[in-house]
Structure 1
Amino acid sequence: MKLVRFLMKLVSETVTIELKNGTIVHGTVVGVDVAMNTHLKNVKMTVKDRNPVQLDSLSIRGNNIRQYILPDALNLDALLVDDTPKRGPARERSA
């Protein structure tokens, strides 16, 4: 779950995504949901052994993603800060 929370912070970053079928997708992240489905805009998609195709937007199902390739200029220290609220200790309930 922490990986997905990290990816959700990548909104408006330009990333490259490699899919399991070898397709390379380069675009700007619009959003990532809890199933790691990724929505991109201004996309260049290169299917294996074919010419690149320009697309206005593209949604990728999370289980088709092999890897995200992040830009070198990305400030990982700021993105990796765990800002999720901490849960308190569980209270015992009387029966």
Structure 2
Amino acid sequence: MKLVRFLMRLANETLVLELKNGTVVHGTIVGVDVAMNTHLKNVKLTVKHSNPVSMDHLTIRGSNIRYFILPDSLPLDTLLIDDTPIQRPPRET
């Protein structure tokens, strides 16, 4: 679950995705949902052994993603801080 939370914070970041079938997707993340489905804009899709195709929007099913290749300029130290409050059940007295 922590991986998905990290990916949800990557909105508006441009990165590269490699899919399990060898397809490479270069685009800007619009959002990531809890199933790791990734919504991208300004996409360049390169199917293995084929010419690149440009698209305005693309949604990729989370189970088809092999790698998220992050840019070197990404501030990982600020993105990896988990600032969500811990939900503890109330004490019974």
Q: Give the TM-score range, shorter chain.
A: over 0.9
Q: How does 1:32-71 map to 2 (within 5 A)?
A: 32-71=32-71
What is the CA–CA distance in structure 2 between the aligned matches of 1:12 and 1:23, rounded to whole Å? 21
Look up the SS of the partner of 2:40 in the other structure.
strand
The sequence identity of aligned pairs, in percent, is 71
Runs of 4+ in 1 over 6 A off after TM superposition: none
TM-score in terms of structure 1 length:
0.93
How far is the alpha carbon of 1:90 from its aligned partner? 5.3
Residue 28 of structure 2 corresponds to: 28
**After superposition, what is the alpha-carbon deviation per residue over 1:24-75, rounded to whole angstroms, capped at 9, x for unaligned?**
0000000000000000000000000000000000000000000100000000
Look up the SS of the partner of 1:31 in the other structure.
strand
Structure 1's unaligned 5+ residue stretches are: none
Structure of higher CA gyration radius: 1
Residue 91 of structure 1 corresponds to: 91
Look up the SS of the partner of 2:3 in the other structure.
helix
What is the CA–CA distance in structure 2 between the aligned matches of 1:4 and 1:71, rounded to whole Å? 18
Tell me which amino acid in the other structure corresponds to 1:9.
R
Look up the SS of the partner of 2:57 in the other structure.
strand
TM-score in terms of structure 2 length:
0.95
What is the CA–CA distance in structure 1 between the aligned matches of 2:17 and 2:90, rounded to whole Å? 40
What is the CA–CA distance in structure 2 between the aligned matches of 1:47 and 1:59, rounded to whole Å? 15
How far is the alpha carbon of 1:88 from its aligned partner? 2.6
Look up the SS of the partner of 1:5 in the other structure.
helix
RMSD of aligned alpha carbons = 1.3
How far is the alpha carbon of 1:84 from its aligned partner? 1.2
